[in-house]
Structure 1
Amino acid sequence: MRTVLRIVLALALLALVGLGVLYWMQPRPLAPVGDASPPGESAPVALRPAQPDPTTQLIAKGEYLARAGDCVACHTAPGGKPFAGGRAMPTPFGNIYVPNITPDEETGIGLYTPDEFYRMLHTGISRDGKLLYPAMPFASYTKVTREDSDAIYAYLMSVPPVRQPNRPHELRFPYNKRELLVGWRALYFKEGEYQPDPNQSAEWNRGAYLVQGLGHCAMCHTAVNRLGGTQESRAFEGGMIPNQNWYAPSLTSNREAGLGEWSLKDITDLLQTGVSNRGTVYGPMAEVVYHSLQYLTDEDVRAMAVYLKSLPERDTSPPPPSQARLVAPEVMELGRRIYDQQCAMCHGEEGKGYPPAYPPLAGNQSITLYSPVNPIRMVLNGGYPPGTRKNPRPHGMPPFSHMLTDDEVAAVVTYIRVAWNNTGTPVTAAQVNELRTIIPE
């Protein structure tokens, strides 16, 4: 009996211990910070979110700004490592080879200090005192604030270093004499950070800062003279992009790509996705959207659109009448027949297209530009809008250079430039042949 009693008492004690353990293990709400704790209990620890690391935040900001400046597009050779340089940039004066801007101390910018990096962006003078050639858009980057420069510097110093020596430029005499850049800078370079316009909204000023500074949009959309310089008074009036054989249309003329008549949605769609109801980007602009603009926030893209839409119209002359009367009837008929066979299925019998997948041709100002280079190249080489996060599978344009002769390409491009009351001018077979020999990039 004593043994049985001991077993019963032991089991009862074990049960009490188990109940106590279960009681203490059940979850309890934490008392707010500063509240008195229950008697016999220590004060609970309040749960607070972890504070973000300032260095990580600075690097993330720098990465975003480097995308806004499209640094990777120039400083990465095809198939090369990011920012390691080595890419040849053809200019009218010879090839310029883009430098390594990884943090490698021997061949990159690893020895740069934040002050030296800012001086390079702001003044176009390297760490060793050399004047940079204006293929580096320091004339635009001078507008970048010191705060943003420091963020870009922090990001570049965080990327993997690549030991890749910089190739010397291949410039013809006398353009290989850097000391001559002193004269170029006196004519075409104005140093100074962007100064907000107090008469404009914060959104407009943000857009102006991005377009004029990191975006360096004027580099393409302003005509370049024989010395490789641009006139501020003619900014954004359009021009041929040197050595690329693409025409960057005027942003100040509603007869070209002036955006005064566009909605903000159409502008932001074009900038951020590469397609809109008003048109589609190809060529160099497609690269800008792919590498840079698609990664900007909706707010920043809208700010850029607000600024671009506000650019004053400088070409107020009325559009010319249709130039169809200048086209020989047989050429017009040939162009119409080719269009019906090859183009109408996507762009419609009346050229209205099926936007945004297939852009309209009727009333499309990019088709009727003074220079016919862009539509000729599209017919010859085809192309795709950029694949972007908001348009990952864009519809492309097939090439026809292997199917159509110079005369046939000239006829169909002429047709789309003058049909449907379009106001373009006729195209010749010689113009087509000149572009046919260019290897598309």
Structure 2
Amino acid sequence: MTPRFSLGIFVTVLALATPHALQAQEAGAKPDPALIAKGEYLARAGDCIACHTAPEGAIFAGGRAMPTPFGVIYTSNITPDATTGIGKWTAEDFYQTMHRGRFPDGGLLYPAMPFASYTKVTREDSDAIYAYLRSVPAVAQQNRPHDLSFPYNNRSLILGWRTLFFTEGEFKQDHDKSAEWNRGAYLVEGLGHCGMCHTPINALGGNSESQAFQGGLIPMQNWYAPSLTSNKEAGLGEWSIEDISDLLQKGVSKRGVVYGPMADVVYNSLQYLNDADTRAMAVYLKSIATDSPRAPVSNISSSESSLLLSLGKTVYDSQCAVCHGTKGEGKPPHYPPLAGNQSIQMESAVNPIRMVLNGGYPPGTAGNPMPYGMPPFAVSLSDDQVAAVVSYIRSTWGNRGTAVTAADANHLRSVPLQ
């Protein structure tokens, strides 16, 4: 893993990286270390490694399978190999691909590549990322053809998708907001492409700007990415800046812990950002929360739930209370509280069911190098027991979540782990 960057190094990088350095590198002169360091930092912010490196594969050599509702897309080789990678690309080629979603020859990229977010990246930052990618070891590995069903294997259809869902243009600063807020917005909306998961995806694989960050089920992964705007889900309006920053950078905070796909994002990307940038993201995320916490109305009535909740309490007391407390108070930051936990009470119960079934760990980070995990209970608990304990924690200690069924648990039990 690449060493974590400090704020001091990043400030130096910004000061030393210039267009002249990039031109010199393109001309074959000795690469500029400051420009490359800046590009590496930004590539981390964009989480490029997560998609363009296959399991057990060479870094940035592509070949990672990306299942979609339309078939499997295989990521491309972005090492500087002249034949199979981007070794013949210029900085202009790279920027146009990031900015416009088109290959240097004009070919259309599938929107699994988040160019709808990357279009907001500035030319200066694009050039730095390009310089960094030219510095990594070249790998001769042919790009694997996508395995898409008809008619989605016809790239010309992407023109229609682009008309509906793609707006080209670099990030525009809001001059009514602080520089810190704008930096956070740039990272969240652009390089971080957080909207790829936290905005609802429609049947065409697109999303609406009017629904930005309102949450939804992540296609093919069967994890729910909660709304970042609603305090009833993962909206951070009631969180402190410190707690948000800790969650982004360490993967744990006094208010919550990341699991599932978000744990991968923290591990591969966010833990490497400096304190100033994670704070800027926290400032922006806190600002987009638009409502006050208001629990949903539970559908668990006392007359119908006595057996369900009794079974759930029995399971909880024997399996969960030792870590999460007899009253759901938890032991933050390692064992998150369940009482009053918004993520437990969301309309979708996918995440708590999956956590009970599959367990998991938050990511190991510099700020939390030895994370505490949760064991899986898929083998030891039946579908009825899983449904009962999840229903119990969603409706006890003041929580107002709705009940889940054994069928819900059974469906997620058969979902492959991602």
How does the TM-score come out when normalised to structure 1? 0.87
Equivalent residue, structure 2, for 1:65: 42
Kindly indicate whether residue 109 of structure 2 is the aligned counterpart of residue 109 of structure 1. no
SS of the residue 2:72 aligns to: strand
In structure 2, C-alpha distance between the alignment counterparts of 1:189 and 1:68, rounded to whole Å: 22
Q: CA deviation at 1:320?
A: 3.1
- Corresponding residue for 1:275? 252
Partner of 1:295: 272
Q: Distance in 2 between matches of 1:61 and 1:381?
A: 38
* Alpha-carbon separation, structure 1, partners of 2:57 and 2:393: 40
From 128, 140, 143, the counterpart of 2:105: 128
What SS is found at the alignment partner of 2:213? Answer: coil
| Distance apart, 1:312 and its partner CA | 4.5
1:320 is matched with which residue: 290, 296, 302? 296
Highest CA radius of gyration, 1 or 2? 1
Inter-partner Cα distance in structure 2 for 1:366 and 1:108? 41
SS of corresponding position for 2:347: coil
**What's 2:12 paired with?**
none
Identity of aligned residues (%): 67
1:4-403 paired onto structure 2 within 5 Å? 55-313=32-290, 318-325=294-301, 327-403=304-380
1:251 and 1:386 map into 2 onto residues whose CA distance is 21
Alpha-carbon contact 2:228-2:289 (below 8 Å) kept = no
Gaps of 5+ in 1: 1-50
Following TM superposition, the consecutive aligned residue runs of length 4 or more in structure 1 with deviations greater than 2 angstroms are 51-54, 315-324
Which is bigger in relative contact order (C-alpha 8 A, separation at least 6)? 2
Contact 2:297 2:401 in 1 (8 A): no
Q: Distance in 1 between matches of 2:101 and 2:415?
A: 32
Specify every segment of 5 or more residues in structure 2 that has no aligned partner in the other structure, as ranges: 1-14, 22-31
Residues in 1 aligned to 2:358 and 2:309: alpha-carbon distance in whole angstroms? 22
RMSD: 1.4
Structure 1 counterpart of 2:3:
none
Deviations 1:45-101 (A, max 9, x none): xxxxxx989511000000000000000000011111110100010101000000011
Corresponding residue for residue 27 of structure 2:
none
Q: Give yes or no for contact 2:231–2:293 (8 Å, CA) kept in 1.
A: no
Aligned length: 390
- d(CA) in 2 for partners of 1:424, 1:83: 42
Take 1:370 and 1:330, find their aligned partners in 2: how far apart are those partners?
23
Asked if 1 retains the 8 angstrom alpha-carbon contact of 2:35 and 2:132, the reply is yes
- Paired with 1:157 and 1:129, the residues of 2 have a C-alpha distance of 22
* Secondary structure, counterpart of 1:289 in structure 2: helix
> 3-state SS of the aligned residue for 1:90?
strand
Alpha-carbon offset, residue 323 of structure 1: 4.3
CA distance in 2, matches of 1:108, 1:363: 50
Mapped partners of 1:96, 1:159: distance in 2: 24
Q: Specify whether residues 339 and 213 from structure 1 end up closer, same or farther in structure 2 by C-alpha distance, changes over 3 A only.
A: same
Flag the 1:164–1:218 CA change in 2: closer, same or farther, 3 A. same
Residue 27 of structure 1 is matched in structure 2 by none
TM-score (normalizing by structure 2) = 0.91
CA distance in 2 between counterparts of 1:280 and 1:369 reads 16
* Secondary structure of the corresponding residue to residue 380 of structure 1: helix
Is the contact made by 1:222 and 1:239 (CA closer than 8 Å) also made in structure 2? yes
- The residue type equivalent to 1:156 in the other structure is L
Structure 2 Cα separation of the partners of residues 264 and 173 of structure 1:
47
SS of structure 2 residue aligned to 1:95: strand
Distance 1:322 1:218 in 2: 29
